[in-house]
Structure 1
Amino acid sequence: MFQIKTFNAIAPEGMNRFDKETYAINQSENPDGIILRSQKLHDYEFPESVLAVARAGAGTNNIPVDKCTEQGIVVFNTPGANANAVKELVIANLLLSVRPILQGAMWVQNLSGPDVEEQVEAHKKQFVGNELEGKKLGVIGLGAIGAMIANDAYRLGMEVIGYDPHVSVDTAWSISRRVKRAKEVSEIYNTCDFITVHVPLLEQTRHLISDKELSMMKPSAKLFNFSRGEIVDTEAVLKAVNDGYLAGFTTDFADERLLNNEKIVVLPHLGASTEEAEINCAKMAARTLKRFLETGVIKHSVNFPTVDMSFHSPYRITIVHNNIPNMLGKISSTIASADINIENMINRGRGDYAYTLVDINESNQQKIADVVAQLEAGEQIMRVRVIENTEITY
């Protein structure tokens, strides 16, 4: 029986994937897996039992990823599950940034009298806006969200230019060939009427847009941040807007310094706040966590490599270890010395750590336990787990 602990309310469409015969939900303080949304875990003391943490969302800033890695805990996220929700919000705000739709709607509500129609026709000129068609949009970060925005903005008639030096093969195939790729990000800063940023928050992306980048933009440009608040330097944006060399800023991350400025729109973190996105994220997080616990397969992890191998043997040994030379030789020789046959094996590394799956044709519990003890005694091995293939009948 696997123990699962939840933080926050997780959509039932996701939690229902954990069958009651195999999983117990919130019945133990020593869980095998954790699933959460926005709960901050930086002060949480992870029990030794925890094998994995799955976040129902793309960002993992609320999870101490480095701490988890050191403890051999795999951290999962759900890239792309909320992409459509964020894309639609960005497109909506692009439209709102050029057409005073909300202002006009609120103005009409204050009208009265039998001549409302005449009043509207007489004063509607004050709400004249512009069109997006023919304007140039720069998209920084062509992941799941950025790629969708680039494609849809092009369909709205915009000229779209994207920048991402690390775009994946899958994403590259999904981006319209009519979206121009910038070789340098400065091309976006120098030429675009609208700039939207969609990159993860890392040490190297903190304040990715600051004084230098803002000074390169056209005074008529408008900047959008639906990625993470810290991606954009707030003080630099305030100075740019107030000094007139940035026309507008829209962000999904509330900051008191940005409030009550007519050139700045602050939203209450609505990016993934749709029923569909919450369900999609919950289903993907549950599916990923469930597969890892039952088979050891890692997919969509932010701290360990993707490792996927079909499971047809009686038992599988999973090993988290330091990424150093000859570890595979040591692992395989330890298993072979116990007269256990290795049927299949895969290893992948990521930075200082690596993950290995070893499928063995053995059902003797004592022999397996002895091998696990030997592996756990290795100085460079952090965590060893044995998974029984429940699909095999002995």
Structure 2
Amino acid sequence: MTKVTCLNPIAKVGLERFGAGYQLDAPLEEAQLALVRSADMHAVTAPAGLLAVARAGAGVNNIPLDALAKQGTVVFNTPGANANGVKELVLAGMLLAARDVVGGVEWVRANQSDPDIAKDTEKAKKQFAGGEILGKRLGIIGLGHIGVKVANAALALGMEVWAYTLPEGDGTIPGLAQEVHLLDGPEEIYESCDYITLHLPLNDATRQMINGAVFAKMKPGTVLLNFSRDKLVDDEALAQAMEQGIVRRYVSDFPNPAVVHLPGALVIPHLGASTEESEDNCACMAVDQLKAFLEEGTLRNAVNYPDCTLGAKTAAPRLCVLGENLNAGQLLAGWKTTGRADAKKGERCCLLADLEAEPAPEQLDQLAAQPGVLRVRLI
């Protein structure tokens, strides 16, 4: 029986995919598999027997990736599973920034006891007037699953879309409409766009990338949207830019004490992926990845190890080896295999091999004792 722990509530439709052979209410210290959403895994001690963690979402800042990798625990995430939910909220954020709907609704609520509210509305509504997004220029920084969906949707709404993203692979961006103006850097976005939306991971290169120097390049009245990570924006520089009229609206999905009080800030309580559909998609994808790893050794959407697959499991025993700076040929010298796959991501390595016969326990012990090997598992 494989023991599974859920560090946050996980959608039932996903958990049901485990099926027989899995215990879903295990404590963390006994678990072989873990599912997490927002719980801070930096604050807990992961047991040595924990084989894998799946984050039901894309961001993994709440998970100690390196520490888990060094004990042979694979971390997965679910990129794209919540992309449509976030995309829709980004569009809603643009519309709320364009027209002061929030202010208007608050005015109505504050005057709900006024018997002449219909007549007074006609006098008051001018203060909530805004503009339209049709024909405006949207700049997108980051063209992952969410950024691409936002770009295509904004085009459909009649916006002019400029975008910059770090090149990956062969440089193609699957699903991106040809009408999007791809740029070699973000400078033109800062200088020319009416709306700027961020769709980037948080790391050392992106932390506070939207700072005072960047705000100085923006034109007055820019709308900045952040549905990615709070710390992409320098809060102190943002406050100055809003006071100077450079940023007219800051729409963020991340409440923090530095921005919630800023006039012109529309701060949402982290609702980007909070839809039933997104939570179901993330849960299903996370569970499928854990099962594929446990039952086949397949690494798909691994974060702290390379993706690696040897296809569907056959009747042959399968070896799964995780480690650092491994030489697959040397490790399996003398082993009789019928199929093999290996992959490397930085120093982290995964090796999968289908064996002709079941190895003796001492063979596995010898393999586990080789330099760089962190975990050996026979499937």
Q: Smaller-chain TM-score range? A: over 0.9
Number of matched pairs? 376
Give the alignment of 1:76-95 within 5 angstroms. 76-95=76-95
- Quick one: distance in 1 between partners of 2:376 and 2:116? 78
Deviates more, 1:97-106 or 1:233-242: 97-106
Task: State the partner residue of 2:145.
Answer: 144
2:306–2:350: 8 Å Cα contact kept in structure 1? Answer: yes
- Quick one: distance in 1 between partners of 2:25 and 2:89? 34
Task: State the partner residue of 2:348.
Answer: 353
Give the alignment of 1:181-200 within 5 angstroms. 181-200=182-201
Task: State the partner residue of 2:242.
Answer: 241
Task: State the partner residue of 2:157.
Answer: 156
Percent of pairs with identical residues: 40
Partner-residue secondary structure (3-state), 2:258:
helix
Task: State the partner residue of 2:314.
Answer: 312
- Quick one: distance in 2 between partners of 1:266 and 1:122? 28
Partner-residue secondary structure (3-state), 2:75:
strand
Residue deviations 1:246-296, cap 9 Å, x none?
Answer: 222111111112122221111111111111111111111111111111111
Task: State the partner residue of 1:382.
Answer: 374
Q: TM-score, normalised by structure 2?
A: 0.94
Task: State the partner residue of 1:338.
Answer: none
**Structure 1: stretches of 5+ with no match in the other structure:** 336-340, 388-394
- Quick one: distance in 1 between partners of 2:15 and 2:132? 44
Task: State the partner residue of 2:204.
Answer: 203
Task: State the partner residue of 2:332.
Answer: 332
Task: State the partner residue of 1:390.
Answer: none
1:114 CA displacement: 6.6
Residue type of the alignment partner of 1:51: L
Task: State the partner residue of 2:22.
Answer: 23
2:76–2:289: 8 Å Cα contact kept in structure 1? Answer: yes
2:306–2:343: 8 Å Cα contact kept in structure 1? Answer: yes
State yes or no: 1:70 paired with 2:70: yes
1:127 CA displacement: 2.7
1:206–1:230: 8 Å Cα contact kept in structure 2? Answer: yes
- Which residue of 361, 364, 372 maps to 1:369? 361
1:143–1:171: 8 Å Cα contact kept in structure 2? Answer: no
Partner-residue secondary structure (3-state), 1:235:
helix
- Quick one: distance in 2 between partners of 1:43 and 1:106? 39
Task: State the partner residue of 2:180.
Answer: 179
Distance 1:268 1:163, change over 3 A: same
- Quick one: distance in 2 between partners of 1:85 and 1:71? 34
2:85–2:274: 8 Å Cα contact kept in structure 1? Answer: yes
1:124 CA displacement: 3.1
1:314 CA displacement: 1.5
Distance 1:302 1:379, change over 3 A: same
Residue type of the alignment partner of 1:178: E
Distance 1:111 1:64, change over 3 A: closer
Partner-residue secondary structure (3-state), 2:274:
coil
Deviates more, 1:293-302 or 1:102-111: 102-111
Distance 1:22 1:156, change over 3 A: same
Distance 1:272 1:211, change over 3 A: same
1:353 CA displacement: 1.2
Partner-residue secondary structure (3-state), 1:262:
coil
1:103 CA displacement: 2.2
Residue type of the alignment partner of 1:23: Y
Task: State the partner residue of 1:46.
Answer: 46
Residue type of the alignment partner of 1:318: C
1:312 CA displacement: 2.4
Partner-residue secondary structure (3-state), 1:356:
strand
- Quick one: distance in 2 between partners of 1:272 and 1:186? 29
- Quick one: distance in 2 between partners of 1:170 and 1:190? 25
- Quick one: distance in 2 between partners of 1:120 and 1:380? 71
Partner-residue secondary structure (3-state), 2:216:
helix
Partner-residue secondary structure (3-state), 1:173:
coil
Partner-residue secondary structure (3-state), 2:332:
helix
Task: State the partner residue of 1:301.
Answer: 302
Deviates more, 1:215-224 or 1:123-132: 123-132
1:143–1:167: 8 Å Cα contact kept in structure 2? Answer: no
Residue deviations 1:305-338, cap 9 Å, x none?
Answer: 11112222411000012225xx122122142xxx
Residue type of the alignment partner of 1:348: A
**Structure 2: stretches of 5+ with no match in the other structure:** none
Task: State the partner residue of 2:274.
Answer: 273
1:25 CA displacement: 1.6
Residue type of the alignment partner of 2:144: G
Q: TM-score, normalised by structure 1?
A: 0.91
Residue type of the alignment partner of 1:153: A
1:348 CA displacement: 0.4
Residue deviations 1:192-249, cap 9 Å, x none?
Answer: 0110001011111111111111111111211111101111111111111112322221
Task: State the partner residue of 1:288.
Answer: 289
Partner-residue secondary structure (3-state), 1:223:
strand
State yes or no: 1:129 paired with 2:121: no
Residue deviations 1:131-164, cap 9 Å, x none?
Answer: 1011100000000011100110111100001110
1:142–1:171: 8 Å Cα contact kept in structure 2? Answer: no
Task: State the partner residue of 1:104.
Answer: 104
Distance 1:178 1:242, change over 3 A: same
Task: State the partner residue of 1:344.
Answer: 339
